[in-house]
Amino acid sequence: MKNFSKLVYPYLIWMVVMIIVPMAMIVLYAITVQGNDVLTFQFTFDNFLRFFNDEIFPSVLWRSLKMAFITTVICIAIGYPAAYFMAKMKPNSAAMCVLLVTLPMWINMLVRTYAWRGILSRTGLSAEARVYIGMVYNFLPFMILQIYTALSKIDPSLIIAAGDLGADAKQTFMRVTLPLSLSGVVSGITLVFLPAVSSFFIPKLLGGGQYVLIGNLIENYFVSTGDWNFGSAISLIMAIIILISMYVTRKLDTDTKEAD
């Protein structure tokens, strides 16, 4: 067993190099002033104060959270019925539907978004509507697959038992199917909300620069403006929000499993 434990070392090295070191640099940039020398760091919280004291930045953050929330709700509204009907199909038909759902994901998300840019550019839709379409299209498969997995794991004997006890189709769904599938809904929320709230190239390509989200601000301050300190502060604020969201969804998932 000790020999096998050494196999984890490459993953630990990868984690340190690709996750811990970049995050440490973001934290360092966020709490220092611009133009620091390596040996003379000047620490400050002005970057965070700048974010919250300006009316524009919190409004962009709120817009990002609102868009991610609405995108998640739309994905649930579309994804749950789709996953439910897939779970009711015969195994071969369900497998074909899973293939059709995952097929677009074989193509790079950036390429798919560029395709939607060409399609939506002639529709006359607003920038916000175009961004919503792009968000839902790109993240909907994650919601469908998570809910379908949860639904397909439900023991059919529970549905039969509910019918034997006098429950009709609606009561069976509300009291058996829906509660047992909530873990898939919670997992789908995690996979949709978190990338949606930090997405930057979907609003950039489909919004035409007219619909700016928090991810676009971070990209702008890192790439265009060159203010890495303020960009890191925004990134750190987003990281904290994402961690809180992950904790909440994990708590909901745990509560759902305990209820089951």
Give the confidence band of 219 by pLDDT, cuts at 50, 70, 90.
confident
Q: What is the tens place of the pLDDT at every residue in 93-152? A: 999 999 999 998 888 888 999 899 988 888 888 888 999 999 999 999 999 999 999 999
Residues 145 and 79: their CA atoms lie apart, in Å, by 8
The SS3 call for residue 40 is strand
What average pLDDT does the segment 196-215 reach? 84
More confident residue, 142 or 19: 142
Tokens of 153: 């794991």
Amino acid at 122: R
Amino acid at 152: S
More confident residue, 163 or 74: 74
pLDDT of 256 strictly over 80: no
Q: What are the structural domains of the chain?
A: 57-259 (1.10.3720.10)
pLDDT of 174 strictly over 90: no
CA–CA distances in Å: residue 209 to residues 150, 213, 251: 39, 10, 36
Read off the pTM: 0.84
Is the separation of the CB atoms in 214 and 238 below 8 Å?
yes
pLDDT of residue 167: 80
Q: CB atoms < 10 A from the CB of 135, how many?
A: 26
Count of positions (residues) in the chain: 260
pLDDT of residue 224: 83
pLDDT of residue 2: 58
Give the confidence band of 227 by pLDDT, cuts at 50, 70, 90.
confident
What average pLDDT does the segment 169-184 reach? 87
What average pLDDT does the segment 157-170 reach? 83
Q: Closest Cα to residue 137, out of 121, 114, 160? A: 114
Q: What is the tens place of the pLDDT at every residue in 38-97? A: 556 778 888 899 899 988 889 999 999 999 999 999 999 999 999 999 998 998 999 999
Q: What is the tens place of the pLDDT at every residue in 181-205? A: 988 999 899 899 988 988 888 888 8
Show Cβ contacts of residue 68 under 8 Å, excluding neighbours closer than 6 positions: 192, 193, 194, 196, 197
pLDDT of residue 39: 54
More confident residue, 51 or 35: 51
pLDDT of residue 99: 92
CA–CA distances in Å: residue 91 to residues 94, 152, 185: 5, 10, 22
